[in-house]
Amino acid sequence: MSYSRNLLDLFLATRKASEAICAPLQTEDYVVQPCADVSPPKWHLGHTTWFFEEFLLSPHLPNYQRFNPQYGYVFNSYYESVGARVVRTDRGNLSRPSVDDVYAYRAYVTKHMELLVKSFLKDALLPVLEIGIHHEKQHQELLLTDIKYILGNNPLQPIYGAVKNEVFIEEHQAAFCDMPAGIYEMGHGDESFCYDNELPKHRVFLESYALANKLVTNSEWQEFITAGGYNNALLWHTEGWDWVQKNNINAPLYWYKQDSPWQQYTLNGSCSVNPAGAVTHISYYEAFAYAQWRGMRLPTEFEWEAANKHFNWGKRWEWTESAYLPYPNYQKPDGALGEYNGKFMVNQKVLRGSSVATAANHIRATYRNFFHAPLRWQYTGLRLAKSL
């Protein structure tokens, strides 16, 4: 089967998967934007469709007519070189286009993409198609976690549906895995798809260190709470301590107290916090403070990658101590697609791993996620490290 045929099959499966994620929603759920970092599901469905229309159909399909000329303004996200766009914080104000219109837009673009791939796609456009597909897969993760935030902030705490392994439990005995000092190769190295921020392959020297073979659990986090971790300024960065005080933070996101014990909201509904589950929905600030309380630290992204290639961890997003920066000799792609990753390499921390919401073919040792330090709506946890 040809490369383009494989990509067409992957494209069609990806389009269906996005809509399947939204299948349990009520119409009203599609429009809500509880905070600036969460986008309405309707916007995700439209934006991932706009990407194909903007970068493939409009410039490369003969006689293509845009579904609606105004949708470029509505569904552009951060591509400054492409044109103006709705301010991110205003996405929840878009009562129009309707949900039905957005689904009609998706069907229209999907149909024309099939035509493009089958009859007009040149080899030079295959990488654009491929990154468009994986762009939608990334938005599927955002889509599911945004839905959780939307429903989790509804006082009715509605159930989304059965999601397996949302509470992640590791059964093995806790231990530390020693890694010797030496030179380690980093970055993506085979012919499979990766993002530009995973390139190029390069070497780093690491001093000897050890990583915990298990993520920090909910029961361990409750010990931190009971010990007054959220009230001890000595454990926190100044910026983190200000964040705790300003926002009255005293537990991970989605945790709440109804008498005793701690409860948490999940996509399967509210339940008691499982002591054995890996703690999730914590900020970098909290991860750092917890590590300080334990007398340890967070791993760098390079320590994490070197160890993961041996131990195959990575079932939850894990905060690292690394700033999100380009690798040595990194080359940002030309044109608008150069805005995909490179422009965000400032004031963010690297996350490594994956989550219950991550597309299966995005789970790899070299994948680099990145978020601002206070954000918690993703399935973010931590693994302890120590120097030897």
What is d(CA 383, CA 318) in angstroms, rounded to the nearest whole number? 7
| Contact call for residues 215 and 316 (beta carbons, < 8 A) | yes
Residue 54, classified by CB atoms within 10 Å of its CB into exposed (0-12), middle (13-18) or buried (19+), is buried
| Contact call for residues 246 and 230 (beta carbons, < 8 A) | no
Long-range contacts of 339-347 (CB under 8 A, 24+ apart): 339/78, 339/79, 339/80, 339/81, 340/131, 340/135, 340/195, 340/196, 341/195, 341/196, 341/197, 342/196, 342/197, 343/78, 344/370, 345/197, 347/372
Q: Would you put residue 164 in left (φ > 0), alpha (ψ -120 to 50) or beta? A: beta
Long-range contacts of 62-67 (CB under 8 A, 24+ apart): 62/120, 64/112, 67/104, 67/105, 67/108, 67/109
Q: Per-10-residue mean pLDDT for the chain, 388 residues long? A: 80 98 97 94 97 96 96 82 74 92 98 95 92 96 98 96 92 95 95 93 98 97 98 98 98 90 95 97 98 98 93 89 96 71 86 95 94 98 97
Single-letter code of the amino acid located at 22: C
* pLDDT for the residue 248: 97
What is d(CA 105, CA 102) in angstroms, rounded to the nearest whole number? 5
Question: pTM, whole model, 2 decimals?
Answer: 0.95
Alpha carbon 83 to chain centroid, angstroms: 25
| Contact call for residues 296 and 308 (beta carbons, < 8 A) | no
* pLDDT for the residue 171: 92
What is d(CA 157, CA 170) in angstroms, rounded to the nearest whole number? 27
CATH class for the domain made up of 3-152: mainly alpha
* pLDDT for the residue 386: 97
Task: Write the DSSP string, 192-232.
Answer: S---GGG-S-EEEEE--EEEESSPPBHHHHHHHHHTTGGG-
Q: Where in the chain is the domain with CATH 3.90.1580.10?
A: 176-387
The CATH number of the domain covering residues in 176-387 = 3.90.1580.10
* pLDDT for the residue 88: 78
* pLDDT for the residue 358: 96
What is d(CA 345, CA 338) in angstroms, rounded to the nearest whole number? 12
Q: Where in the chain is the domain with CATH 1.20.120.450?
A: 3-152
**Which tokens belong to 154?**
């509804």
